[in-house]
Amino acid sequence: MDYENIIFEVKDSIAFVTINRPEKLNALNERTVNELDDVFVNISRDDEINVVILTGSGEKAFVAGADIAELNKLTLLQGREFAEKGQAVFSKIEKLNKPVIAAVNGYALGGGCELALACHIRLASEHAVFGQPEVNLGIIPGYGGTQRLARLINSGRALEYILTGDYIKAAEAEKIGLVNHVYPAEELMTKAIEMAKKINSKAQIAVRMATKAVVSCNELSESEGLHLEASLFAICCGSEDFKEGTQAFLEKRKPNFKNR
């Protein structure tokens, strides 16, 4: 698929996905959602990629939401399809077999906040602004926001933001655990790349199993989650990298991981 609204690059096993509609503050129209769907399928199949950084083009916005011009035309039945399509794509990101870091470089509103929530780790610039302002449009979050925001920051806080439409500035987002770290705008990508490189330097089977285990806590009971954790732990124990990592420690040297 040719991409019109996203930029996709891979460098040193790190994939960069940039939503690129800056004139519309990177709002997610149907085409952009389809392109995201396609690119994340390709990323999941590409064994050369170990970590993904997702960001928005320009200095103002990560993603300012679903495209309101398209939303405006939805009928009741189309509304359901619209939400289910977005939910499926965002769940694909959350369940990706490798970690995704959101570098939130500005407005992350509505579907933009939900997109950041579907990523595994969120880093933000000082001028990033989060929010679920759908109530101002007569709708509710439909790309997973009611579920993921409530899980991440608790249901009372999530409802406050969803019912008032109030924006969440970066410092507040860090305080309530919505983002991991906040950086000056000019440092955001450097810090995201630094984190991606550090993850890339580890044993990738362990990175993938850990990501899968932690993401599964959203859907599994504690006993099911522990059962899965034990199975994924066992898979790591069967890897060459496990032998190498433990042996290197005992020999007081750096491990040389081969991702096998």
- Is the Cβ of residue 46 or residue 59 nearer to ligand COA in the bound state? 59
Helix (H, G, I), strand (E, B) or coil at 123: strand
- Binding residue for ligand COA (CB under 6 A) from 3, 8, 10, 24? 24
* Residue selected from 56, 86, 99, 133 as contacting ligand COA according to rule CB under 6 A: 133
Write down the catalytic residue from 35, 114, 174, 229: 114
The interface mask with ligand COA, positions 77-116, x = CB under 6 A, is: ------------------------------x-xxx-----
Nearest residue to 203 via CA among 46, 93, 50, 15: 50
Instruction: DSSP for 173-237, please give it.
Output: HHHTTS-SEEE-GGGHHHHHHHHHHHHHTS-HHHHHHHHHHHHHTTTS-HHHHHHHHHHHHHHHH
Element (H, E) at 45: helix 30-45
Residue tagged active-site, from 35, 70, 134, 222: 134
Segment contacting ligand COA (CB under 6 A): 76-84, 115-123, 129-137, 179-187? 129-137
Q: Which residue has the tokens 């406050």?
A: 160
Q: How many CB atoms lie within 10 A of CB 256?
A: 9
Active site residue 240: no
**Annotated catalytic residue 81:** no
Residue ranges that bind ligand COA, judged by CB under 6 A: 24-25, 27, 64-69, 107, 109-111, 133-134, 137
Catalytic annotation, residues: 114, 134
